[in-house]
Amino acid sequence: MMQFALFVGLAGTTWDAVLSLTRHAEATGWDAACLTDHFMPNTPERVGDSLECLSALAALAAAVPRIRLGTIVLGNTYRHPAVLAKTLTNIDIISGGRLIAGIGGAWQQNEHEAYGIPFYTVAERLARLDEACQVLKMLWTQDRSTFKGRYYQLSDAPASPKPVQQPYPELLVGGGG
């Protein structure tokens, strides 16, 4: 079965436009809408509006009742995976189990520089992404998780409530290059 998803950029737009586009996609039979995760345009001047992905996704989860909703893709370096697991769980609950959890290694260097987020080598960003996916899956499937990775650690970390989707939301790993 073929499915169609809409790629929704959050730069240079407004909340009303994003909501309208997503409602239109739902009304016209699209299967999913996935939001980008950037804090600013990828330009030298770094000027222009950019909506924040996870708060927009949570609002869409409550406002758009049928289609699947996701991220294309979250920059792993922007959020600790334990915090991300909690946020994504809440969005999965709000949406009634329609979340697509897209995550990638992060690539937009100007965001890292502007906000003081370390911009690791490609190899380290990918190694961090691997550990982050392990952390997400543990927190989504275990009542308490302990993880001793090179980059992330959990110590008997509780994770409740669980996502609606079992064993966990669809995990989409994105990348290029």
> Average pLDDT for residues 73-80, to the nearest whole number?
97
Q: What is the pLDDT of residue 177?
A: 58
Q: Is 147 part of any domain?
A: no
Q: Is 23 part of any domain?
A: yes
> Average pLDDT for residues 125-154, to the nearest whole number?
98
21, containing H or E segment: helix 15-27
Q: What percent of the chain has pLDDT over 70?
A: 99
Q: Which domain holds residue 113?
A: 5-120+163-174
Question: How many independent structural domains does the chain possess?
Answer: 1
**129 DSSP assignment:** H
CATH number for the domain spanning 40: value is 3.20.20.30
Is 61 a residue whose pLDDT tops 80? Answer: yes
Please name which of 102, 41, 38, 118 lies closest in space to residue 69, comparing C-alpha atoms.
102
Q: What is the pLDDT of residue 150?
A: 98
Report yes or no on whether pTM surpasses 0.85.
yes
Q: Is 15 part of any domain?
A: yes
Confidence of residue 175 (pLDDT cuts 50, 70, 90): confident
